[in-house]
Structure 1
């Protein structure tokens, strides 16, 4: 079991790290968090868990206003243009041992995250106070970057600050400037399935029958028209955040290209590179929003199902009073 909030705060006190806690309702985005602590004047952060093609993991912690271009960052790490993508939810739960909305540098306190690389925004160094969630998204703690460094050193890592908006050339005579930050290993549980994980602030699923794994059956072509029920039963890529984001860009890009060619004096090839740039810059934020919506939908659905179960009983019969 990973660290809990109270254990983390106790550890910070042992390290004589000065911090301030602010309780608030559960938040899933930086915008929601800003409503509760934004007026205090500190630096809000956005935190991403990224994965490369060799399953190595990276936590990118940046100021809320910093633009993180995943393609440029991938090149600077020596991974090529498409070497980074958003890590799946299983990695949050199994490696960082936190649910969606709770990724921060503090999650690296868990032993399971020892092989995860941490990249910090250079902008934190110029801020008097920085805000992060302490493993749960109904609390925000404020501390200085020097105290954050003290915590990072205490877990056996060296703070690595990066200017994410730099775009240095990478080539034969210009080696990747961040290659030294690529992890040397893969977390042991980065590819393991997730079992019995309860999201933050969701009731424990006591006495709820476990879902059984159903093996996919060979697809049989239907002779008649497809019914709405058959559409629901088919597996879909809509549950994949990565595929959802790609679908959004696949829809928007041709429309943008068509309209731009009509109204702007610019070549199609140049527009394509502009679209790629927009895609690289917008993808992390769009993926973060999609994951937040997915988490919110899951939480709402779970509550609804849990209430129905309490009202009707596990066997489907009305509960006895």
Structure 2
């Protein structure tokens, strides 16, 4: 049985319980990096894009990168320890594993993976930013959080992210 996905309020409550400072800006729904470009002047820091991937053995990976980073999907499996080439995970698996819909994929969705079914991978260049921005489980807002606080949040969810250069 799948648990009910956490809400944005649940996420903020968890961050508050960890004494993690965060700020959120509301905006119209954005589904692509291109649609979110207009927010850059208003929200400083590194902006993210996310890839929900599946390997040949059915293992799932959430790869979080800086929004302009590019990835070679034919070779990324050799970097992240996947079994054979990866493909994009299906929408149903995304909802089941991370509790979010397409367009709302975010590193914060680790909160919806208590079984640690998804390996979190963060592209190393993203971690050069002091502030990292991601959707708070929905694509109608952007939440800003300090890099070290993001690591603390992930640790609290039981995820030890792989931080390595996967962008080309």
Give the TM-score of the pair, scaled to structure 2.
0.91
Instruction: Give CA-to-partner distance per residue, 1:191-213, whole Å, 9 cap, x none.
Output: xxxxxxxxxxxxxxxxxxxxxxx
Q: Give the Cα separation in 2 of the matches to 1:78 and 1:7.
A: 31
Aligned length: 163
Does structure 1 residue 56 correspond to structure 2 residue 59? yes
Q: Give the Cα separation in 2 of the matches to 1:88 and 1:57.
A: 11
Displacement of 1:125 in angstroms is 2.1
Q: Is the 8 A contact 1:95 1:112 kept in 2?
A: no
Match in the other structure for 1:264: none
Match of 1:65 among 40, 63, 68: 68
Match in the other structure for 1:4: 7
Instruction: Give CA-to-partner distance per residue, 1:85-138, whole Å, 9 cap, x none.
Output: 001111111111111111111111114552110000111221121110010110
Alignment of 1:67-106 (within 5 A): 67-76=70-79, 77=81, 79-80=83-84, 83-106=85-108
Does structure 1 residue 160 correspond to structure 2 residue 159? no
Instruction: Give CA-to-partner distance per residue, 1:190-239, whole Å, 9 cap, x none.
Output: xxxxxxxxxxxxxxxxxxxxxxxxxxxxxxxxxxxxxxxxxxxxxxxxxx
Q: Give the Cα separation in 2 of the matches to 1:67 and 1:132.
A: 18
Alignment of 1:142-221 (within 5 A): 142-165=144-167
Higher relative contact order (CA 8 A, sep 6+): 2
Structure possessing the higher radius of gyration over alpha carbons: 1
| SS of alignment partner, residue 50 of structure 1 | strand
Q: Give the Cα separation in 1 of the matches to 2:154 and 2:114.
A: 15
Change (3 A) 1:78 1:13: closer
Alignment of 1:8-23 (within 5 A): 8-23=11-26
Q: Give the Cα separation in 1 of the matches to 2:109 and 2:11.
A: 9
Match in the other structure for 1:31: 34
Match in the other structure for 1:46: 49
Q: Is the 8 A contact 1:34 1:44 kept in 2?
A: no
Change (3 A) 1:98 1:78: closer
Q: Is the 8 A contact 1:66 1:164 kept in 2?
A: no
Instruction: Give CA-to-partner distance per residue, 1:157-212, whole Å, 9 cap, x none.
Output: 2232111136xxxxxxxxxxxxxxxxxxxxxxxxxxxxxxxxxxxxxxxxxxxxxx
Query: Structure 2, unaligned stretches of length 5 or more?
Result: none
Q: Tell me which protein shows more helix as a share of its residues.
A: 1
Match in the other structure for 1:286: none
Query: Structure 1, unaligned stretches of length 5 or more?
Result: 167-321
Alignment of 1:170-319 (within 5 A): none
